[in-house]
Each structure stands twice: as C-alpha cells, then as structure tokens.
Structure 1
Amino acid sequence: MSDEIRSVRQAAIVLGALALLASAAGSASASRCAFEAQGEGRVAGIIDARSFRLQDGREVRLAGIEPVLREGASSQVLAKILANRDVTLRGEDDTPDRYGRQDAFVFVTSSESSVQEELLDQGEAFVSATVTDKECATALIAAEAAARRAKRGLWADPAVIKNTESPGDILTGIGRFTLVEGKVLSVRQAGTTTYLNFGRNWTRDFAVTISRRASAGFEAAGILPKSFENRRIRVRGFVEAHGGPRIDVLRVGQIELLGGN
C-alpha cells in the first residue's frame, strides 16, 4: 500500500470519526463537554450572540462555537435560554481572555446539556473547531449535524455552506466564520506554507493555507496534506482575501473529508 493511499485512509478515519460517532453522541443523556466546574452565577444580561454578564459583574463568552451573524436573531435566542437563569460554568481553564471575559461551557441549572449544544441543535451557531477534547468536539459536531439534517435555523438556507466554484460568493464573507466545500485540485508547497488549491488562478480562486506548525498537527494525526488532492473536503474558518479568498487552517478539526471525489 502506498504512503498516499494509506494517508487518505487515515484521513478518512481521523476526520470522519466525529461524523461516525454523531448518533452515539446525540443519544447520550449527559453532555460530553461537562468539564471541571469553574464557577456559578445568575445571568444579569445578554451582551451579544455568544456573551453574557453575571450579576457579580463577570462577563462570560461561550466556548467552542461561532454565532450566526443575523441581525439580533441569535442574541434573542440566547436571551430566551439564559435570561435570569442560574448557570454553572465549566471548562479546562478559567483564565480570562484579553478582554476580561471567561470562556466556558455553560449549563443552566438542572440541565445536562450545555447551552452550546442547545444553540447548535437549533441551528443558531457553528462548531468553531477550537475544542481540543475529542469527546466534547464529537458532541458539538453531532448537534450541528442534527440541525443541518433537519434544516433548522441557519441550515434552512441552502447557501449557508459556500461552494469553492463561486469564489466571489466566498469573498462576501471576509472576516466571517464560514463553511466552504469543494474538490481540492492540487496541493502545493511554497516556503513554509502548504496550499490546498481549488482552482488554477491564485488571484481569484479559493485556497486553504496550512502553516508548517499546523502541518505538524496533521502529521501527528497520520495525515499528509498531499492526501487531500482530488478529494472533496469541507473546511471551516475565517475568510481572508489574498488575491482570492483564503481560509488559514490551524487545527486538524477545521477540515472534514467528504464522501466521493
């Protein structure tokens, strides 16, 4: 068996694992994101689609998800879930970010599911691919997939996942967290960066960039970036413009190998 074929199979196993485990995660009664408790409090107000303030003044930011940028909609959904509720904050680290906010998985008292899972299940958020715990990431992907299948919330829009054949459409989302699907035409190395190219014109077509540091994560997972050539993938991340639209991949979880070529 060649190294490339072996790498493709490894990619299917590693990147497809979350999807294969989705049904099992969805049927679990307790959240897979129930990390160590990092505090409690009562919600005093909603700041935005993924942040809120407790009565003691602490500001909390929902970890592991990216909100849907629809005017007021997600903030209203979050308010319905959290307004004046007692919550428990859970996470692997309670260190505030540079804005003084505490990133956490949030549980309304007596609920076994996190607020993140509830928002994902309603189609009001994307999984951010920043969660390093495999079981928690599996649960979040399961909730997102369930909403996508049922066309709930954002998934009612068939254009929510962008197509690499329409780079102009992708460019409208510069600076936004976006999901993009397409077939990788070629994989090229330039300096310390690996490029997954979806077209032949770098000034116009979509591409994924993987730095040397990020490549080490793929290698640790048994995946060669070259194995994505001529494969269909779904990539999630923030869109940038460098000639054509780009997404910089920092973690293995940002790329999902899709079925078929």
Structure 2
Amino acid sequence: MSLTKWGLIAGGGLLWVWIGGAGAAAGIVSPGCLSGGEAAQLADVDEALDLHLRDGRVVHLPGVAAAPGRVTDARTLLRGWLLRTPMLVRVLRSEPDRWGRTPALAFAEAGGSSPGLVSVSEALLEAGLVLARPDADIDPCWADYLSLEDEARRTGRGLWATRHMIDPQDATALQANAGALAIVEGRLARVHAGRARLYLRFSGDGGTGFAAALALPLVRRMTKGGQDPSGWVGRNLAVRGLLDDRWGWQIDVTSLQQLRLDPP
C-alpha cells in the first residue's frame, strides 16, 4: 500500500499523517462508499470536527467521532489540508440536525503522488485521530471505516499509540470513558433476556459487570436473519457506543454496526 506522508506541526511537535494511497484501505473513495457532491470551501473547523463552510453551512461528518486528546491534531490536519484545496460535499440529509448541522460527507484531492479524491473522514480514521462511530447514514462506508481504524490500531497511529480496546473487567478504564464513545472488547460469558432488552454479559457473576443491552427490535431482526446472540457465548465480541453507568456499565445497542464478533 502506497501512502502519502504529510508532516504537520501540531501540539509542539511534528505530526505525521498518512493521506491517500492505493484502494479503499488508504482513504481513496471506494465503489462501496458514497462519493460525489457539490463544490464547497472551508472557513474553519470546530472542536467537534464539524466543518464550517464559507457559505455559512456547518457540515457534520457522520460515522466519525473526535477522540479525546487528539482534537487539536485532527483540527490541524483538516485546516492545513482543506483550507488550501477545494472540497466536494455530499449532503446525506437535506434537513439540518437539532444543532443546525448538515450531515454530509466531504472529499478533497490528496495532492502529491496520490491522484483522485480522498474521503476526509477516512483520512482521519487512517491517521488514528478519530473513532468510527455507528451511523445509519454511512452504512455503505462502514466496512471501509472499520478497516482503516483497524489498520491505525495495528500500526499504533495517533490515539492508538496509547489507547487500546477497553477490557470489560477493567473498572478504571470503564470509569475513565463514562459518557463517551467507547469500544469494549472481551469474551462473552452469558446472555439473558430482560423486559425490553437482551443483555450480553462479559462476566458470570449475576447481573454485575459490563453488558451490551440489545434492543428487542434489533434482536428480532438478527434472529430473522439467522443470527442468534445466545450462540455467541465464549466468543470474542467488541461493542461500540456510548458507555452508560447509570444502571451498571452498559452500552445500548440498536444497530449491527455496534457489534463485531470474532470468527469461532
């Protein structure tokens, strides 16, 4: 895989960022993902990594979430790249969200030896500066997003130089990520049904410990499609979503994008 390596000054040091390359694994727009759109110019990037355009719109990039400790690096990358090159913005929903943001994907030329449009979200994932966040709007892109996040984690880029998947038995790590987008990974111990959810638990000690709380409509869709979570006991499972501690540690799961099961 050929990558264009950018050096950006961030946080008092030199931040190396990989942009472009060959195929979807390097951020180039792939056939399975959404591409195209209208021309736009960047005015600024805020701390949520929303793109403020010169025409007054605020673009929200669905499918990625700013990672704690890496916001400055991500903003530096986006400003250094997108303020000097035109973008294409593909609006995913015409109605703004409740914060007045337009959900859209953004694309721009990588420059250098990597011709073609690059997905802005995928470039951030590849550099290890954001986490992939489940979102139905980017379902065609989700496999690419996970692949890029995996590669950044394997090579220790960005946030993955010091961060790892959260162990469901690690109370300190769970507490540190309370209320934030988290990825909890471990061996599933048991499955039990509640009144409104199916609980996937990672410890066998009654109702304590971390759980993935699957909404029953999702469970019914899974069962209809031949996926039975009760058969996952003993297998390694990663759960992604907002980590809630109000009724014990859990992540509410409403989408298959939030679950990743290792092969048996």
Residue type of the alignment partner of 1:178: A
Q: Residue 167 of structure 1: CA displacement?
A: 2.9
Q: SS at the partner of 2:107? A: strand
What percentage of residue pairs aligned between the two structures are identical? Answer: 25
CA contact (8 A) 2:34 2:140 kept: no
The answer for the alignment partner of 2:105 in structure 1 is: 105
The answer for the alignment partner of 2:185 in structure 1 is: 181
What value does the CA root-mean-square deviation take over the aligned residues?
Answer: 2.4
TM-score (norm 2): 0.80
The answer for the alignment partner of 2:16 in structure 1 is: none
Corresponding residue to 1:163 among 152, 164, 167:
167
CA contact (8 A) 1:204 1:243 kept: no
Q: SS at the partner of 2:117? A: coil
Decide whether aligned partners of structure 1 residues 215 and 132 sit closer, same or farther in structure 2, where only a CA change above 3 A counts.
farther
Q: How many corresponding residue pairs? A: 236
CA contact (8 A) 2:92 2:103 kept: no
CA contact (8 A) 1:88 1:109 kept: no
Decide whether aligned partners of structure 1 residues 161 and 211 sit closer, same or farther in structure 2, where only a CA change above 3 A counts.
same
* Bigger RCO of structures 1 and 2 (CA < 8 A, at least 6 apart): 1
Q: Which piece of structure 1 moves more, 137-146 or 74-83?
A: 74-83
Which ranges of structure 1 fall in alignment gaps of 5 or more residues? 1-22
Q: SS at the partner of 1:112? A: strand
Question: Aligned partners of 1:218 and 1:36: how far apart in 2?
Answer: 33
The answer for the alignment partner of 1:172 in structure 2 is: 176
More helix by share: 1
Question: Aligned partners of 2:104 and 2:137: how far apart in 1?
Answer: 14
Q: Residue 121 of structure 1: CA displacement?
A: 0.4
**Deviation sequence 1:143-188 (CA, Å, 0-9, x none):** 111111211001111x431101213321221111011111111100
* Greater than 6 Å deviation, 4+ residue runs: none
Residue type of the alignment partner of 1:114: S
CA contact (8 A) 1:94 1:104 kept: no
Confirm whether residue 123 of structure 1 aligns to residue 128 of structure 2: yes
Residue type of the alignment partner of 2:154: R
Confirm whether residue 207 of structure 1 aligns to residue 206 of structure 2: no
Map 1:1-261 → 2, pairs under 5 A: 25-26=24-25, 29-31=28-30, 32-35=32-35, 37=37, 39-70=38-69, 72-109=72-109, 111-131=116-136, 135-157=140-162, 159-201=163-205, 204-259=208-263
Q: SS at the partner of 1:69? A: coil
TM-score (norm 1): 0.81
Q: Residue 75 of structure 1: CA displacement?
A: 2.3
Q: SS at the partner of 2:237? A: strand
Residue type of the alignment partner of 1:116: S
CA contact (8 A) 2:188 2:202 kept: yes
Q: SS at the partner of 1:26? A: helix
Question: Aligned partners of 1:188 and 1:97: how far apart in 2?
Answer: 36
Decide whether aligned partners of structure 1 residues 132 and 55 sit closer, same or farther in structure 2, where only a CA change above 3 A counts.
closer
Q: Residue 215 of structure 1: CA displacement?
A: 1.6
CA contact (8 A) 2:197 2:215 kept: yes
